C-alpha cells in the first residue's frame, strides 16, 4: 500500500503537474488578446459605419430617398442621383452570378463526384483557386486588350440579327455590360467553386451509396440526390459570390464604360457604385463628398446585407448536413 | 524632452551621414519641397523636378492628384506649393490668409484623338464637333463631316465618344471651349471638371488621359479628348479643328503659341482662352498654374521655391516643346518674374 501511494506521487520529469502561475497568466493574457482582436474587429466595423454615416448624413438629409431613384451626377448644378449606379451594380452582379454560378457549380461537381482521380482533382482545384489570386487590374487589362476585341464581332452580329430583343438592342462599341459581366463571372468563379465543393464533400458517403444502391445512374444520383442535399451550401456559395461581385471595383471601372444610364442591353455601357466612387473621389470637390459618402453607405448596406444572408444560410445548412 | 533630444540627435547624425556621402559640406542642401495638384502638366513637371534636383540638390516631391485635390492641400497648408489647370477662384483665394501668387508655368492643347481605319487626316468643322459630344452626330459618314473632308473615304460606322470618368482639368478646359462655341452644349451639358454627358449608348467614360487614349486605341470608330502630349507619345491620330477665323488648324507648338497670344490676364494672372482669336490659333489651349503662398514660409523654402520657378521659366521652357506642351510667350514669362518678386 505504502508503495502504491509513493508511485502515485508525481515523479520528477513527469508531464503532468499543476500549471505554474506564469502559465496561468500566459493563458489568461492569450485569452484577453484574442478577445481584444475579436472586439476590435466589431468596433472597426461599427466605427466605419458610424464615420461614413456621419459624413453622409448632410447629403442624406438634403437629397433624401430621391437620391436612390434619379439618374444624374452633375456637380455644377449640385444634382445627384445614383439609380443608374445601383442598377448597374445589381445587374452586372446578377448576370455574373448567372454565368459564374453555373460554371462554378459545374466545376465543383466535376471535381468532387469522382470524374477525376484524387491527384488530378487536387491540381485542378488549385488552378481554379489561383484565379482568385489574379489582381483585379490584370483582369481589367485582359478585358480591354483581349476579351473586348474577341467578343465584339459576335456581339455585333447578335445586335444586327436580333435587334428586337432588349438584351441585344445596342451595338457593343468597346467597354460595356457584357465584357464586364464575363470578367466578373471569372472573378467570382473561385468563390462559388470552393464553397460548393465543400458542400458536396460534406455529403456523407452513405447517401451516395444509397442512391447507387437503388439503381440510379451517376447522373441521376447527382441530379436527384447530391445536388438537392448540397443545395443549402450551393446557395450560400452563390450569395457570397454575389457579395464579391457587388464590391468589385477596378476591373469594372476599366470595363463597364462608366456611363450613367439604365439599360437592359448587354452591349451598352453602364456604371456601378464602386466604379463611381473610385473614379470620382480623387478629384471630388467639397460639394461632391457628401453625395459620394451617401453612395458609399448604399454600397456598404447592399454588400453587408448580401453577405449576412449568405453567412446565415451557410451556418444553417452546414449544421444540417453534419447531423 | 528625451524624445526631443533623440530626434535632434538623429537629425545631426543624418546630416553628418549626408555630408559624408556627398563629400561636400558647403553644397549640402536639406531643403525639400512638397507639392501636389494637376495631372495635366505632370509629365512635364516630373521631368523638370528630376533635372532640377540633380542640378541644385533641392528635392521636389510632386504628387499628381488632380487640380481639385491640389487646391485643397494648398488651402489646408500641407504643401509648399500646388498646381492647378483651373488656377484658383476668388472664393478659394480668400481662404488662404497670407495671400497667393498664381503663376502660369506652361500651356497645353487638348486634341480630339480618333480611331478610324484608313483615315489619318480628319477635319472637323466648328459646328460639328460640339454636336458629336452632344450625341447628335453619330455616324462617321455624316454629311456634315463629309462636307469638310473632300477625298477622304469616311466609313459608314458609328461614332463612339470617349469621355473622362474622373473629374479633370482637361474636361474643364474642353467643356469650357465647347460651351463657348455652342449654346446648345452650354445649356444641356455645361462646363466643368465633371459634367453630365448625354445618356446615350455610344458614350463611354474612361479614367485619366491614359485611360481615354487606351480606349480610343482599342475601339474602332472612337473619338475622345486628350492632352496633346499623350496623343503625340502614343502616336494616336488627332483631328484638325476649325478655329474662330475659319481655318483648319492642327495642334502643335506654333498653333498653340498663336492661341496663347490672345490671352488677357487679370490681376491674379488668370486667363482662360475658351475661344482664341488669330488666323492660325489652335482652338483648345490652356495655361496651367503653380500656386504659391505670398508670405509665411521660412527663408530657405522661399529661396528654394524661387529657384524652382526660375528653372521652370528658363531651362524648363525648352523642355516643354519636346514633351508636347507650349512654351510660354515672353510676355508671360515677364509677368511671372514680376509676381515671383512679390513673395516674401
Q: Averaged over B190-218, what is the pLDDT?
A: 88
Q: For residue A277, give how far its alpha carbon lies from the nearest alpha carbon of chain B (Å).
A: 10
A12 pLDDT band, cuts 50/70/90, is low
Residue A107, pLDDT > 60, answer yes
pLDDT at position A259 is: 87
CB A253 within 8 A of CB A277: no
More reliable by pLDDT, B209 or B238: B238
Q: Quick: pLDDT tens for B311-325.
A: 999 999 988 888 889
Is there a contact between B214 and A258 if contact means CB atoms under 8 Å apart?
no
A273 neighbors A299 (Cβ within 8 angstroms): yes
CB contact under 8 A, A288 and B194: yes
| pLDDT bucket at B277, cuts 50 / 70 / 90 | confident
**What average pLDDT does the segment B297-303 reach?**
89
Average pLDDT over residues A52-69: 90
Nearest-10 crossing angle of helices A177-201, A118-130 = 140
Reported ipTM: 0.74
Round the average pLDDT of chain B to a whole number and report it.
Answer: 86
Check pLDDT > 70 for residue B17: no
The predicted structure's pLDDT at residue A105: 93
In the 8-state DSSP scheme, what is residue A176? S
Average confidence (pLDDT) over A316-321: 62
pLDDT score for B31 = 82
Least CB–CB distance from A269: residue in B168, B204, B218: B204
Residue B12 scores a pLDDT above 90: no
pLDDT at A308 over 80: yes
The beta-carbon neighbor of B66 closest among A145, A254, A282 is A282
Distance, CA of B307 to CA of B89 (rounded, Å):
26
Who's near A155: CB < 8 A, 6+ residues apart?
A168, A171, A172, A178, A266, A267
pLDDT at B222 over 90: yes
Q: Answer whether B167's CB lies under 8 Å from A74's CB.
A: no
Asked if the model's pLDDT at residue A2 lies above 50, the reply is no
Would you call B190 an interface residue with chain A, using a CB distance cutoff of 8 Å?
A: yes
pLDDT at A235 over 60: yes
Average the pLDDT over each of A3-7, A256-260, B82-86, B178-182 and give the range with the smallest value.
A3-7
As a whole number of Å, the CA-based R_g of chain B is 22
Per-residue pLDDT band at A10 (split at 50, 70, 90): low
pLDDT number for residue A318: 61
B118 close to A (CB below 8 A):
no
Sheet containing B203-206: order of strands? B59-64, B32-37, B81-84, B285-293, B100-115, B222-227, B160-164, B203-206
CB B29 within 8 A of CB B54: no
**Cα gap B170→B173, rounded to integer Å:** 5
Rounded to 10 degrees, the C-alpha dihedral A126/A132/A138/A140 comes to 130
Amino acid at each position: 500500500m505504502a508503495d502504491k501511494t509513493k508511485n502515485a506521487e508525481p515523479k520528477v520529469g513527469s508531464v503532468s503537474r499543476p500549471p505554474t502561475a506564469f502559465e496561468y497568466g500566459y493563458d489568461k493574457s492569450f485569452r484577453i488578446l484574442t478577445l481584444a482582436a475579436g472586439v476590435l474587429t466589431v468596433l472597426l466595423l461599427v466605427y466605419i459605419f458610424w464615420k461614413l454615416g456621419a459624413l453622409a448624413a448632410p447629403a442624406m438629409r438634403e437629397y433624401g430617398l430621391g437620391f436612390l431613384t434619379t439618374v444624374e451626377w452633375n456637380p455644377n448644378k449640385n444634382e445627384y442621383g445614383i439609380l443608374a449606379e445601383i442598377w448597374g451594380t445589381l445587374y452586372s452582379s446578377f448576370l455574373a452570378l448567372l454565368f459564374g454560378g453555373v460554371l462554378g457549380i459545374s466545376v465543383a461537381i466535376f471535381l468532387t463526384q469522382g470524374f477525376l482521380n484524387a491527384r488530378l482533382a487536387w491540381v485542378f482545384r488549385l488552378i481554379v483557386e489561383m484565379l482568385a489570386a489574379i489582381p483585379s487590374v490584370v483582369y481589367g487589362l485582359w478585358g480591354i486588350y483581349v476579351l473586348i476585341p474577341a467578343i465584339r464581332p459576335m456581339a455585333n452580329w447578335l445586335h444586327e440579327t436580333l435587334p428586337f430583343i432588349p438584351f441585344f438592342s445596342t451595338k457593343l462599341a468597346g467597354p460595356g455590360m457584357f465584357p464586364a459581366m464575363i470578367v466578373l463571372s471569372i472573378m467570382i468563379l473561385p468563390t462559388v467553386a470552393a464553397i460548393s465543393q465543400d458542400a458536396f464533400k460534406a455529403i456523407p458517403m452513405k447517401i451516395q451509396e444509397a442512391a447507387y444502391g437503388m439503381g440510379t445512374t451517376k447522373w441521376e444520383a447527382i441530379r436527384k440526390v447530391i445536388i438537392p442535399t448540397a443545395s443549402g451550401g450551393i446557395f450560400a456559395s452563390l450569395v457570397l459570390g454575389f457579395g464579391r461581385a457587388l464590391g468589385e471595383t477596378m476591373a469594372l471601372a476599366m470595363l463597364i464604360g462608366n456611363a450613367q444610364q439604365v439599360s437592359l442591353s448587354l452591349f451598352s455601357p453602364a456604371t456601378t457604385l464602386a466604379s463611381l466612387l473610385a473614379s470620382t473621389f480623387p478629384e471630388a470637390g467639397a460639394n461632391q463628398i457628401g453625395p459620394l459618402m451617401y453612395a458609399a453607405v448604399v454600397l456598404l448596406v447592399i454588400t453587408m446585407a448580401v453577405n449576412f444572408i449568405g453567412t446565415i444560410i451557410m451556418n444553417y445548412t452546414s449544421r444540417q448536413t453534419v447531423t | 524632452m528625451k524624445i526631443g533630444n533623440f530626434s535632434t540627435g538623429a537629425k545631426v547624425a543624418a546630416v553628418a551621414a549626408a555630408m559624408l556621402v556627398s563629400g561636400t559640406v558647403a553644397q549640402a542642401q536639406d531643403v525639400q519641397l512638397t507639392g501636389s495638384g494637376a495631372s495635366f502638366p505632370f509629365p512635364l513637371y516630373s521631368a523638370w523636378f528630376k533635372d532640377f534636383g540633380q542640378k541644385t540638390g533641392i528635392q521636389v516631391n510632386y504628387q499628381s492628384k488632380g487640380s481639385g485635390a491640389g487646391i485643397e492641400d494648398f488651402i489646408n497648408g500641407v504643401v509648399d506649393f500646388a498646381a492647378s489647370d483651373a488656377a484658383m477662384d476668388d472664393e478659394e483665394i480668400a481662404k488662404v490668409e497670407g495671400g497667393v501668387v498664381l503663376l502660369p508655368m506652361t500651356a497645353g492643347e487638348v486634341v480630339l484623338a480618333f480611331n478610324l481605319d484608313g483615315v489619318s487626316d480628319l477635319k472637323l468643322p466648328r459646328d460639328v464637333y460640339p454636336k458629336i459630344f452632344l450625341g447628335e452626330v453619330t455616324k462617321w459618314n455624316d454629311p456634315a463631316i463629309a462636307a469638310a473632308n473632300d477625298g477622304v473615304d469616311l466609313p459608314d460606322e458609328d461614332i463612339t465618344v470617349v469621355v473622362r470618368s474622373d473629374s479633370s482639368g482637361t474636361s474643364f478646359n474642353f467643356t469650357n471651349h465647347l460651351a463657348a462655341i455652342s449654346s446648345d452644349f452650354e445649356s444641356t451639358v455645361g462646363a466643368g471638371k465633371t459634367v453630365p454627358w448625354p445618356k446615350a449608348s455610344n458614350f463611354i467614360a474612361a479614367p485619366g488621359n491614359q485611360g481615354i487614349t487606351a480606349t480610343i486605341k482599342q475601339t474602332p470608330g472612337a473619338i475622345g479628348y486628350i492632352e496633346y502630349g499623350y496623343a503625340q507619345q502614343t502616336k494616336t491620330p488627332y483631328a484638325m479643328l476649325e478655329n474662330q477665323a475659319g481655318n483648319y488648324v492642327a495642334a502643335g507648338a506654333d498653333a498653340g503659341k498663336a492661341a496663347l497670344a490672345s490671352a488677357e490676364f487679370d490681376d491674379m494672372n488668370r486667363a482662360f482662352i475658351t475661344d482664341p482669336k488669330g488666323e492660325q490659333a489652335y482652338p483648345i489651349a490652356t495655361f496651367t498654374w503653380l500656386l504659391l503662398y505670398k508670405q509665411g514660409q521660412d527663408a530657405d523654402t522661399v529661396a528654394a521655391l524661387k529657384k524652382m520657378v526660375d528653372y521652370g521659366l528658363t531651362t524648363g521652357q525648352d523642355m516643354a516643346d519636346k514633351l508636347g506642351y507650349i512654351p510660354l510667350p515672353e510676355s508671360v514669362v515677364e509677368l511671372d518674374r514680376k509676381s515671383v518678386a512679390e513673395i516674401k
